[in-house]
Amino acid sequence: MADDIFEVVKSFSPWVEGGSLPESVPFKRDIFEVVHSHLKANPKRKGLVILGPRQVGKSTLLKQLVPALGGDSSVLYVSMDHPRLRDVPMDTWVEPWLKLAGSKAERCTLLLDEAPFAKDWDTWMKYYLDHRKNIFIVATGSSSTSLRKGTKESGVGRWDEIWMPQFLFGEVLRWRVGMASPASPWVLIPSKQDKIEPAITATLEEYLHRGGFPIMWETKDLQSGYEQLRRDAIERALFRDINLIAPIRDVATLERVFYACAPETGRIISIQKLSGDIRRSQSMVDNYLKLISDCGLLHVLNPYPGLSRRGLGGIPKIVLADPALFHAAVRPLSITTSPETEGQLLETIIAQHFATVARTKGGVLSYWRRGKEEADFVFELGGEAIPIGITRSARVGEEDVAPLDAFLGAFPKKASTGLFLYRGPEKDITLKSGRGTVACRNIANYLFHLSRAAVPRFPES
């Protein structure tokens, strides 16, 4: 049996016996160099775990690492999603691989795709990291909770985690247009730019429909791309990945929660109303939203300044994790959008990037509402809060930035500058109230700038 299992494992990695390397994918995402450098520079931190939604390129990243790490018998790639491997103890095939690699191998690297599908994966990962000094392990998973719930061992101090999001706007520009980000230091609110590159603006219009999933940029038929995204990213997460995190008794309700929220991306919703509409308890709906969020399908944003949703009547803002998810879940048969929908998609893209920056730099993304005044988002970093307004229009005036002015007045110790994103030329508005300024930035330019800060990083050792 062990020999049969090892044959399955070797079928993923023919190069361990002199066979061909993985098919070359020339474009490397920003995270590739981050992971590769981390492997080379941090030999004592042997475990790396890459988390992210389905269909963002985690498997491709692992396969791109194979030639970079030598591409010989000391590098093994295996997908634990294979039905013959899920219930087999890992030593059944790891030991034959180590024997094949040879005892003199200075470093053996195990690339473990879809790690949570493996039986007692955490126990075995801990064992090999603790007792085999020449083994380095890079694992992937679709949610952080799946790496913790039901595990028997703690990974604290044994492996680092990094989140791999969909393609950032700047990555798409580098991939499709060849436009690299400027090397100047990153700041949250950059100086205004007089020039707006047509390629940046054109790519944003395409990004509204294609989003950041690689398959959406590799297909000419958007409708078939949306169908594939719905099948492989949405439904596999809802029906497989979340059940791996926590067995769901009512999967149909889980699906209803997601598809009820998808059309409302960028909007504040009432948990009480949603639970009433689907005839389930508020606690169940709230728990399901957390599980869906953990798999990278949407963001659940709390109101600023950190008050509980329960205290404010259960009114989070729900934002899909990518604009293509909206088309896949809500309108797969049409790529036309109304002005209102276009505004929702712009908010979705901005939230997607700021949420990634929050993961990278430790910030917090929320929203603010007081009566009829609302800041679409609030981003807090290092004790400073920035209220953010967004519009699809190419014009901005005092009335447009009034909600940001109100926020600055409500939190003078936290905020002195607002950020307004629109399609027009960049400028700064000095508020007549004397509370500060609002930086009005072109939304395409700003996304290109923001992408630099959203590049995933490992925590500093």
Q: Output the pLDDT for position 310.
A: 45
What CATH number should be reported for the domain holding residue 84? 3.40.50.300
Has residue 148 got a pLDDT over 60? no
- Residue 461 counted as domain residue: no
Q: How far apart are CA 1 and CA 70, in angstroms?
A: 30
Where in the sequence is the domain holding 109, given as residue range(s)?
A: 2-163
Has residue 264 got a pLDDT over 80? yes
- Residue 458 counted as domain residue: no
Q: How many domains does one find in the chain?
A: 2
Residue with tokens 């016996």: 17
- Residue 301 counted as domain residue: yes
- Residue 287 counted as domain residue: yes
Same domain, 42 and 173: no
Same domain, 147 and 250: no
* Span of 55-64, 310-319, 349-358 with lowest mean pLDDT: 310-319
Q: Output the pLDDT for position 313.
A: 47
Residues 6+ apart with CB under 8 A from 409: 433, 435
Same domain, 67 and 211: no
- Residue 460 counted as domain residue: no
What is the tens place of the pLDDT at every residue in 156-203?
567 888 999 999 999 999 999 999 877 677 889 999 988 889 999 999
Q: Of 100, 131, 163, which one is at a domain's C-terminal end?
A: 163
Same domain, 148 and 216: no
Has residue 461 got a pLDDT over 60? no
- For 4-15, what is the mean pLDDT? 94
Same domain, 182 and 292: yes
Same domain, 158 and 179: no
pTM: 0.91
What is the tens place of the pLDDT at every residue in 299-333?
999 999 855 444 444 699 999 999 999 999 997 55
Q: Of 113, 133, 163, which one is at a domain's C-terminal end?
A: 163
Same domain, 187 and 113: no
Q: Of 135, 163, 191, which one is at a domain's C-terminal end?
A: 163
